[in-house]
A and B are shown apart, each in its own frame.
Chain A
Amino acid sequence: MAFSVSREGEVTVVDVTGQLIVGNRQELRQKVLDELRGGARRFLIDFTDTAYIDSSGLGVLVSLSKKIREAGGELRLSSLSEDLRTLFELTKLDTLFRIADSRQEGLEAD
């Protein structure tokens, strides 16, 4: 599993490859918080290559979203598979996040 960070215009994009679970959630948290401290405000986490997310992974997304919002920024999610979308719907987290169907849609400004 890996988290790669890149910049697309003003958006900091994090690609999640493999699983986002209890064993690696802190790595994602640290990478995003480092970018936030460095001045980044618009974030997109892309799940194109993500197999599954557990409750700890969902929890770290909730926590990061809160921190980014408190700093005046925004966290969006994109490219959730049908399985991953099911997890967000079951937990009602689809009501908490802005979820784009594609990476491109997630990158678009309002």
Chain B
Amino acid sequence: MRPTEARHEMERQLVFELPNDIRRIEDTVEFVVSRCMVCREVAHKLHLNFRVSLTEALSNAMIYGNRRDPAKRVRVEVYVRASSVTAQVSDEGPGFDPDEVPDPTVVGNRSRSHGRGLFLMRELMDEVRFNDSGNSVTLVLHLPETDAASDRAPA
């Protein structure tokens, strides 16, 4: 993983590619979260909501998108702003239709061992968007306005 990191006045950008190896997910998530610690007020949302959702997006990309093919890669783009954290995770697979994924919380589906990843992303993030082909997901977490952010806001 050789991330490129750019800082602009109001935004930090982090872009890198990962080999298709689920053993890399844990360290990758911790690395990204460490770069997103905007302030203590948002630490809790990053700790659970963002961490779990990014883990889901990476594992979906590696297992279902790239079908565990070690020759394929996963691209990660993260944008940290005062008001939001956005992560885009893209795989090299053919994509899928997110509307066809069954609801894991209905009684007949609860005892299944798979199928909760997309549901958790949608529950934990403020926005979850897919591209048309379904092989790239964008996760957006809105951050509560902080004193520092409101100081910069126009009057």
A105 to B105, CA, bound (A): 27
- Residue among A23, A51, A53, A60 with the most chain B CB within 10 A? A23
| Contact residue among B56, B59, B114, B120 (Cβ-Cβ distance under 8 Å from A90) | B120
Contact B110 A92 (CB under 8 A): yes
B76 at the interface (CB under 8 A from A): no
Q: Which size class do B's interface residues fall under?
A: 20 to 34
Q: Is the CB of A62 within 8 A of B47?
A: no
Is residue A59 contacting chain B, with contact meaning CB distance below 8 A?
yes
Q: Which residues of chain B from 38 to 87 have a CB within 8 Å of any chain A CB? A: 47-48, 51-52, 55-56, 59, 63
B116, A58: Cβ atoms closer than 8 Å: yes
Using Cβ atoms and an 8 Å threshold, which residues of chain A touch B133?
none
Given A52-B51, A86-B48, A96-B110; 20 other pairs, CB 8 A cutoff: A21-B55, A21-B59, A22-B55, A22-B63, A23-B23, A23-B26, A24-B26, A52-B52, A53-B52, A54-B117, A55-B117, A55-B119, A55-B120, A56-B59, A58-B116, A62-B112, A63-B113, A66-B111, A91-B110, A91-B116
Q: Which residues of A contact B (CB under 8 A)?
A: 1, 19, 21-24, 51-56, 58-60, 62-63, 66, 83, 86-87, 90-93, 95-96
Q: Using Cβ atoms and an 8 Å threshold, which residues of chain B touch A90?
A: 105, 119-120, 123-124
Q: Which B residues are CB-close (under 8 A) to A86?
A: 48
- Interchain nearest-CB distance for B131 vs A (Å): 22
B25 at the interface (CB under 8 A from A): yes
Pairwise interchain contact B104-A54, C-beta atoms closer than 8 A: no
